[in-house]
Amino acid sequence: MILRTLRWDIIHAFYGIKSRFFNVLVNTLGVMIGIATLVVLMAVSEKTKKVVLEDIKTLGINTFYLKNSSSNILTLQTFNKLHHLFGNDLMMTPLYIQEQQECYILNKSFKLDLLATDALYLHISEIDVLSGRILVQEDTKNLRQVVLLSQDMEKLGILLNEKIVINNEIYTIIGFFKTKDSTNHKAILPYSTILDDDSVLSRIYFYSEDS
């Protein structure tokens, strides 16, 4: 009976993969390409690095990113190594996303999508601050516990300079930013205040003004 059930489970799984073959293929290739790209970037010599940078300029792009896969190889430590390798030629920023994290303002509980990053991400994503000030590189460098909240939080009566508890740490609200048709409350904070070397990133962005 157990063998018969197992047999039907295997057959069912096979036909499920077959019916979604294209999606499986695309996802598999995406993981393989992402891993291959990261391995190449980590292993390049100084000469090869110049070739990579020239290819980027030839393509005429100024922003691209590495996206994490199920292998979780994009960590903050990986970002730091890539930054050491390419930091003089490309601007880079990590992005860590923690969805629906419970936070507290004046003892009221809110569910927020946390985006841990730095000022470059705001520039790349063209995020506009509606009130208060924008995130700056000094916030990340000096481990300032400051946060930007999405505009819908301001509509709830939250004020600038109020305190918000995130992951048991107290942050100061420095601004409110414009969001694009999102149903979730969002918060942007310096990645240096919340991540360690083993934290798994969602993406690593590369940016060049020369491309």
* Interatomic CA distance for residues 189 and 135, integer angstroms: 8
Give the amino acid at 177: F
Q: Has residue 42 got a pLDDT over 80?
A: no
- Note the pLDDT of residue 5: 45
pLDDT tens figures, 51-105 = 666 665 665 557 777 887 766 678 999 899 888 877 777 788 999 999 999 999 9
How much is the average pLDDT of 41-52?
59
Amino acid 53: pLDDT: 62
Q: Determine the number of helices (DSSP H) and then strands (DSSP E) in the chain.
A: 7, 9
Supply the pTM of this predicted model. Answer: 0.73
Q: Distances from the Cα of 99 to the Cαs of 143, 145, 208, in angstroms?
A: 22, 19, 29
- Of how many residues is the chain composed? 211
Q: How many CB atoms lie within 10 A of CB 207?
A: 18
How far apart (Å, rounded) are the C-alpha atoms in residues 55 and 61? 10
Categorize the per-residue pLDDT at 192 as very low, low, confident or very high, splitting at 50, 70 and 90: very high
Q: How confident is the model over 109-113, as a mean pLDDT?
A: 94
What does the pLDDT look like over 127-174, one tens digit per residue?
999 999 999 999 999 999 999 999 999 888 899 999 999 999 999 999
Structure tokens at 103: 């936070």
| 90 vs 85: CA distance, rounded Å | 9
| CA gap 143, 69 in Å, rounded | 28
